[in-house]
A = this chain, B = another copy of it.
Amino acid sequence: MIRPQSETDPQCTFETMYVAVMDNIFLLVLVTLLSVVQNVFFALKVEKECTGQQPKHNSAAFERLSCANRNCMDTYPTFLAVLWCAGICLSQAPAAFAGIIYLVVRQKYFVGYLGQTCQSTPGFLFGKRILFFLSLMCVVGIINHLMLTYGGSDYKEYIQTITKAASTLLLLP
């Protein structure tokens, strides 16, 4: 959150503010765009399965893909919400990193889905650890904000360093 702009350009207009805001969200926007591309990829997979195949074994495969897609879509707003809240409340780099790992996990989930009608092997709710990490980031960010407002002490620098280190733990399988 340390802005070079505020040092070189101490007077503050809407333009400099806008640049500072963009600096703090453009990684989140990139991750959001990637997730949108993935969503479209999933939807096209389902559509192709639905229209293109011979009607014999169509139904089961379509059912599977549709179910995987629905599970992914059901958790998508939740993911977006915690991603953006964590990025805004605390720090965008670890949040975006966790977001990218979530997208990788989701890709694996979709591809590896073996699918009976109720979601068998890979679990109904994937990426719990990542969602938990992002939620924790939000909570820490809010607690820090409240401490700053009512107590006057700001540990944001330390917290951001710890968060960056902790986000690499998400790489553990």
Question: Residues on A close to B: CB < 8 A?
Answer: 1, 3, 5-6, 10-15, 17-20, 22-23, 25-26, 29-30, 32-33, 35-37, 39-40, 43-44, 46-47, 50-51, 62, 66, 69-70, 73-78, 80-82, 85, 88-89, 118-119, 123-125, 128, 131, 135, 138-139, 141-142, 145-146, 148-149
Contacts and interface: CB of A to CB of B under 8 A. Distances in A.
Copies of this chain, complex-wide, total: 3
22 contacts: A3-B13, A6-B15, A17-B20, A19-B148, A23-B149, A25-B88, A26-B142, A29-B85, A30-B142, A32-B85, A33-B85, A33-B135, A37-B135, A46-B124, A47-B124, A50-B118, A51-B118, A69-B74, A70-B70, A70-B74, A76-B78, A77-B77
Nearest to A20: B14
A124 B81 contact: no
A105 B18 CA distance: 32
B39 A142 contact: no
